[in-house]
Structure 1
Amino acid sequence: MKNFLKDPSKEHLVAAVDLGSNSFRMVIARVIQSPSGTQLQPIDTLRESVRLAAGLNEDKKLDQKSIARGLAAIHRFGDRLKNFDPKQVRAVATNTLRVARNADQFIEEAQKLLGFPIEVIAGREEARLIYIGASHDAPACDGKRFVLDIGGGSTEFIIGEGYEPKMMESLYIGCVSHSQEYFPGGLVDAHSFKQAQLAARREIQVISSQFIKSGWKQSIGSSGTARAIAELIALNGFNGEPHDLPVDDMGGLITRDGLIQLKKALIDAEYVDRCTLLGLKNDRKPVLPGGLAIMLAAFDELGIERMEVTEAALRLGVLYDLIGRSQHHDMRYVTVEQFMQRYAVDRAQAARVSDVALYFLNQFPKPKNEDRKDNLQILSWAAKLHEIGLTITHNGYHKHSAYIATHADMPGFSKLDQARLAALLLGHTGKLGKISVSSTYIDWRMLFSLRLAHVICRRRDDVGIPPISVKEEDNGFIIRVPKEWAKANPLTQFGLEKESADWAKIGRELLIQIF
């Protein structure tokens, strides 16, 4: 398939969809190539206040009203994205869909309406993408930059240099969840505000020392909450003379004094609905007190006095990451390389298993609705990381490999990527019964190819690609092995026979044909 960025028959457009806990947003941008690098020029944006986090009940399930609001917004996004190529679009979901127990059902329906896959990303991956977006839009900085993003259900803290994040944390405090817990019904008084600030400070204290020790020269507040606070401070003169300059110009500034005055204005109004602050939008009112309490807590705990504001954040980061992947700067390759180094992977063996596994997978015809390139990447990464659990113990090492892939921070990988990777690592050896036959994370051809490669490469020597062909049948697989090769490799033949027995235990046939 052609790289869309180099296809002159298409306008160079990319789109990012951000399914946040408070708002759903979409941005479409034009990719502009120049001798100095790549830039993005936004040409269309959509934002809908969905307040998904407000629909989480005590059992951590989304209620039907919030689901309906979310799906209606996504349906409209999908209409705008008609005729876009899958390589032009990336959709990500954040904290609420990380924690909701019925997130899978919501995402399944949402993907149909959007027309593109939706990735649920981990907190630190969200932080990485936020920094990438903010660093491309913020004023230049000679030194370290601190970025704070207060979302609906989580808040991200990042320190980086240039366009590269160095330190990332994500805390489960957000403007929607905090407002619901400490300001029910929109009631804002001195006591509730104090409790909300203290609660946020307790969360931030866990990470504050390492951030303060690192230090930074520039503080940036990104996205909706920071922008809304900056606009209120500017329009109401809490930083001096009132003005209506855009926040990405002189108005984009948050100061400690401005935050304190904004807090006083809310407390004086008693109910946020009664607040008469200039520029306070109706859709921001329900979540402003919680977001402001978190911002004040961050200023207090991290010793911040002033913060510049940028609207660019997760969405812009997703776009730059997307075009980076199309230009072969995929962060996932970097992450796999770092994991191989961290867990002292036998690189020669990893390369052997990867080459053989890909050789087998490529023998299967490409089914409908499958991204073969993505599957080949996931399979290759699984082959390269299948032995990372050996650093813990040899016995059951595949379980440790899978655990690491499931729970580790893996920049560039979505939650689905990590789940698929972990399933392959868990199933690459041993009994297949531990893999759920109905698992949505398992591609049985990929698992078959990896297991077969693991058996064939057991001697850990460079014997090259074996003269073996594979084929998929209705309920299993067929392996065709030359008689002379089988005779020369009795251990491998024994391993293949054992594989056949293992597949039979889960009701799948593996037929070995010697010719």
Structure 2
Amino acid sequence: MADHLPPVAREPAAESGTADEPGVPRPATGDSGLRRTGARGASGPRQAYAAIDLGTNNCRLLIARPAGDSFVVIDAFSRVVRLGEGLAQSGRLSDAAMDRALAALQICADKLRRRNVHLARSVATEACRRASNGAEFIERVRRETGIALNVISAQEEARLAVLGCHILLEQGEGPAVIFDIGGGSTELVLIESGPAVPRILDWQSVPWGVVSLSETCGPEGADATQRAARYQRMRSLVDEAFAPFAERIAPARADPPTAESLRLLGTSGTVTTLASLHLDLPSYDRSAVDGVIVPATAMRAIASRLSGLSLAERREVPCIGRERADLVVAGCAILESILDIWPADRLGVADRGIREGILRSLMATGLRRDGAGALRTGQDAV
């Protein structure tokens, strides 16, 4: 049975918005990608802030206004662009992948203009970090859309994910683990709860996400035996990559000594999809999934079942569909490895992460500095 965190942990509902699909180390220095985009001198409680997260698999946008200690989403956009498609083999972003991402970013740019956004931060993650032509793509995005993407480090990616979703972590004593399974990488963070924002005790990013792991392990087999062998290879690769982190956090896992005391929170399409299946939803429903707490054994059982299905069979499963069917198995392998490292009885599920972390940072910055003059962000751009 799944439980929900108390309503206090819930983000306010969106005023309006559209979406194509459902869905602490210090910040990095240098060009942060922070830009003032609205009218000069804009101020007051109604000003809008925006966050764009261009990942290996998805392009996501949130536009929001401050509301007390949180914010109200006024517009949103999410599209599967598969920017990292083929990257594992070629080391480059393909022309088709870049075109898909640019089309999505143009929609984001149009929304920023229409919403008169005051401050925006746009980030790119693992695909652009790894690609030999990543810098060329970033410049093309700036030239064609006006969006100044900042390629953030894995450390900053982990920090923003924690900032965006930690409010959904179960109450409790001792350290906890928050993880983000992406398209090109996975971040694991050991945190200690604080009065406001958790303190990061340790973290690791590994270059295995649902796209990179799927492509590295090749096509699916034609029968159950071949699919099982591929899944085991995925598990082995991820286990090996996670091993240093697992060794470092072993003392924290031993104290407290019981699985009931361990707290675990995940943010990604993998955990939200598997939680949807656990809840037996006919279609994805963010309000039912964001903040739900699911038994770890149930998530393992779903992962095991999905790994044995053929691609055609997975496409027919509600809440997976064609866009995720070929990638969800890799997500299952990563999730099972995480559950081995941090064997909590229950898994918290978050349909929020980097974008929400960016928004909280932007709003804190904007509200602190609005009274002291305009925030200096460099050249005005989308």
Question: Scaled by the length of structure 1, what TM-score is found?
Answer: 0.57
Aligned to 2:211: 176
TM superposition shift of 1:165: 3.5
Aligned to 1:212: 250
Aligned to 2:198: 164
**Structure with bigger gyration radius:** 1
Task: Point out the structure with the larger helix share.
Answer: 1
Cα pair 2:181 2:331 within 8 Å, conserved: yes
DSSP 3-state at the match of 2:322:
coil
Question: Scaled by the length of structure 2, what TM-score is found?
Answer: 0.75
DSSP 3-state at the match of 1:81:
helix
Aligned to 1:424: none
Cα pair 1:150 1:291 within 8 Å, conserved: yes
Label 1:11 to 1:244 Cα distance change in 2 as closer, same or farther (>3 A): closer
Q: What is the CA–CA distance in structure 1 between the aligned matches of 2:40 and 2:72, rounded to whole Å?
A: 17
1:116-131 correspondence runs (5 A):
116-131=147-162
DSSP 3-state at the match of 1:7:
coil
Label 1:64 to 1:48 Cα distance change in 2 as closer, same or farther (>3 A): same
1:184-199 correspondence runs (5 A):
184-185=219-220, 189-199=227-237
DSSP 3-state at the match of 2:190:
strand
Counterpart residue type for residue 128 of structure 2: L
RMSD (Å) for aligned C-alpha atoms: 3.0
Cα pair 1:3 1:326 within 8 Å, conserved: no
1:354-373 correspondence runs (5 A):
373=376
DSSP 3-state at the match of 2:62:
strand
Q: Match for 2:326 among 275, 286, 294?
A: 286
Matched, 1:248 2:290: yes
Cα pair 1:31 1:39 within 8 Å, conserved: yes
TM superposition shift of 1:264: 2.6
Q: Match for 1:89 among 91, 101, 120?
A: 120
Counterpart residue type for residue 198 of structure 2: E
1:50-129 correspondence runs (5 A):
50-56=81-87, 58-82=89-113, 87-129=118-160
Counterpart residue type for residue 108 of structure 2: F
Stretches of structure 2 lacking an aligned partner (at least 5 in a row) = 1-35, 254-260
1:22-33 correspondence runs (5 A):
22-33=57-68
Q: What is the CA–CA distance in structure 2 between the aligned matches of 1:198 and 1:110, rounded to whole Å?
A: 37
Cα pair 1:15 1:26 within 8 Å, conserved: yes
Aligned to 2:275: 230
Cα pair 2:92 2:133 within 8 Å, conserved: yes
Q: What is the CA–CA distance in structure 2 between the aligned matches of 1:200 and 1:228, rounded to whole Å?
A: 20
Q: What is the CA–CA distance in structure 2 between the aligned matches of 1:279 and 1:68, rounded to whole Å?
A: 27
Aligned to 1:332: none
Label 1:26 to 1:138 Cα distance change in 2 as closer, same or farther (>3 A): farther
Cα pair 1:67 1:106 within 8 Å, conserved: yes
User: What percent identity do the matched residue pairs reach?
Assistant: 25
> Which structure has more RCO (C-alpha within 8 Å, separation ≥ 6)?
2
Q: What is the CA–CA distance in structure 1 between the aligned matches of 2:348 and 2:130, rounded to whole Å?
A: 31
Label 1:220 to 1:119 Cα distance change in 2 as closer, same or farther (>3 A): same
Label 1:300 to 1:137 Cα distance change in 2 as closer, same or farther (>3 A): closer
